[in-house]
Amino acid sequence: MSTFKTLDDLGADQRVLVRLDLNSPVEDGEVQDNRRFERHAETVSELAEAGHRVVLMAHQGRPGGDDFVSLEQHASILADHVGHDVGFVADTFGDDAIDAIESLSAGDILLLENTRMCDDELPEEDPEVKADTAFVQTLAPYFDAYVNDAYSAAHRSHASLVGFPLELPAYAGRVMQTEYEANSAIATREFDGQVTMVVGGTKATDVIDVMNNLGEKVDRFLLGGIAGELFLRAAGHDVGYDVGGMDLFDDQWEANHETIESLIEERGDQITLAVDLAYEDEADERAEIAVEDIDEKDRAYLDIGTDTVEAYDPVIRDSEAVFVKGALGLFEDERFSEGTVGVLRAISETDCFSVVGGGDTSRAIEMYGMSEDDFGHVSIAGGAYIRALTGASLVGVEVLQNN
């Protein structure tokens, strides 16, 4: 399906420049291990074990943010996953970086400093402009090949993602390959049976774009999260408003209510909304209320209710393909995990093609004792997953395909 070259096409004994996405949560200055390290370790291990000299690039945070830190900690976390030393140099393309690159032996791994500490990296510009930067022009001559494994950043036209493929033979790493193929499946595969999409999360705007674009490809949409409440509001229920200092609903309603209303009008028979919602009662316990019994929204709703979970379950089990975008409730709190976990369990027990993606949703799989092996693909991409679902092109993939 993809027209880019992969690691299977890479010649022997190369000095390879590899772009990963190791962007991670940072708590009190400590970089948190997460599934991105585990996934990218597959590509890094494969290259090192084949005897290539492996130089890694990645970004962390954005200038000015609390999470804009050095990649020194990332090197040791990645080393644990790869089972091999990962050297680190606090430089991207200066003399220290070049010296470290030139001193590598076969099978060695080196991580360069945060690409976003380099002035040439960040502004989004055409690949040709990025290829002409000092960053790319200085580093490229030291390498035989470029590997992009950072699918989750592939919608960004940054130097480390789009500049190097114009200067070097370029290949897709294993994460890039599997993410691209799974996430493009909804646009490119033909399914004979029912295709269902579970839609939740906090970014309603993203989800609405997906629903608008995929109406012809998806038979059933099951809604929860912020988007679900906004659709209930459009259907005439007194929910989907900000209460008590929240700022998740009213702005998104303002921006999207016309599209939501037209989706309900044109595709209402494809869209299933919650019939009950869960909230925290006075005793700090989970309580539920039927949507039709809500006269006025006076509290935050934190999950879909049990009746809704029971209604969604058979729809999933009757599906040939299920795509998940976003959580259906505040699953990090066990009291409000029933919607997200109920849906994921149904998918895991159904013999269907499935892709679970959208920010943190995939964390619920591990958190609640399920196995990633029971899902077709668990995506580590947020923005790129959304773009793939809406059929938008990914510039980082395009430059690989054109190489």
For 10-65, write each residue's pLDDT tens digit: 999 999 999 999 999 999 999 999 889 999 999 999 999 999 999 999 999 999 99
pLDDT exceeds cutoff 60 at 130: yes
359 is in an annotated binding site: yes
For 173-218, write each residue's pLDDT tens digit: 999 999 998 888 877 788 999 999 999 988 888 888 888 888 788 9
Inter-CA distances, 60 with 16, 63, 88, 90, 146, Å: 21, 9, 15, 13, 20
* pLDDT of amino acid 1: 47
361 is in an annotated binding site: yes
Average pLDDT estimate for 79-103: 98
60 is in an annotated binding site: yes
53 is in an annotated binding site: no
36 is in an annotated binding site: yes
330 is in an annotated binding site: no
351 is in an annotated binding site: no
* pLDDT of amino acid 389: 80
267 is in an annotated binding site: no
220 is in an annotated binding site: no
The whole-angstrom separation of Cα 76 and Cα 87 is 8
23 is in an annotated binding site: yes
163 is in an annotated binding site: no
- Domains annotated for the chain, with CATH where assigned, are 7-172 (3.40.50.1260), 188-389 (3.40.50.1260)
Average pLDDT estimate for 242-260: 91
* pLDDT of amino acid 358: 62
**pLDDT-derived band at 373, boundaries 50, 70, 90:** very high
Q: What percentage of the chain exceeds 70 in pLDDT?
A: 99
238 is in an annotated binding site: no
360 is in an annotated binding site: yes
**CA proximity to 148, closest of 132, 133, 159:** 159
pTM of the model: 0.85
